[in-house]
Amino acid sequence: MRSLSVLAAAVVLLLAVTGCATGDDAVVQGGANQIVAPGGKTVITYDPADRTPIGDVSGPNLLGDGTVNLDSYKGEVVVVNVWASWCPPCRKEAPELEKVYQRVKDQGAAVVGINFRDNRGSAQDFARDRGLTYPSIYDYGGQTLSALGVPVGAVPTTVVLDRELRPVIVYLKAVSEQEIYDEVQRVLAEDVDPR
């Protein structure tokens, strides 16, 4: 698992110079750079026995005062979406994630954004213009991303965490409302580990 964390940190550094993921292929392209998704996959799943908790994922609240800390969501299923205002697929995806949030927020699930490599004012306008009510961490430099401990190969990337804040699935591509809603329902139906 340690090698996966190292890989995730390296991919975060490469992310700074890449563009958005636009397709379902395993090669994520942007500008003159390419990232090949780990194992050639754009969707990575983790078996319950192999899941490990994320690190300290917290940072300044993009639209308000204080911080957003994923530890405060322990006990809920959490959808974490890495986005930027400059990312074309994010423009379509953000309203879909807002719909997911509205559908699941009273079921023990949440959506949290991580805004990456973005001008704060542009990111705030993006969130307000799309009516996003779920919180986002402002993470220009990527420190929050490295604490997730999963591959983040492109923007957008979406990670679904179980109630113990362990990654269940990582999408290294744009996602749809139904795709994420179905995954959240599946994770909500998992038995809670009594540890």
Chain segment 9-50, per-residue pLDDT in tens: 434 433 433 445 444 433 344 443 344 455 678 999 999 999
Mean pLDDT of 152-158: 87
pTM: 0.81
DSSP element (H, E) containing 115: strand 109-116
Q: State what percent of residues in the chain have pLDDT above 90.
A: 68
Reply yes or no on whether the pLDDT at 143 is more than 80. yes
Half-sphere exposure of 49 (CA within 13 A, CB side): 0
- What are the residue ranges of helices labelled H in 114-175? 120-129, 143-148
Q: Does pLDDT of 52 surpass 90?
A: yes
The answer to whether residues 174 and 82 touch, using CB atoms and an 8 Å cutoff, is no
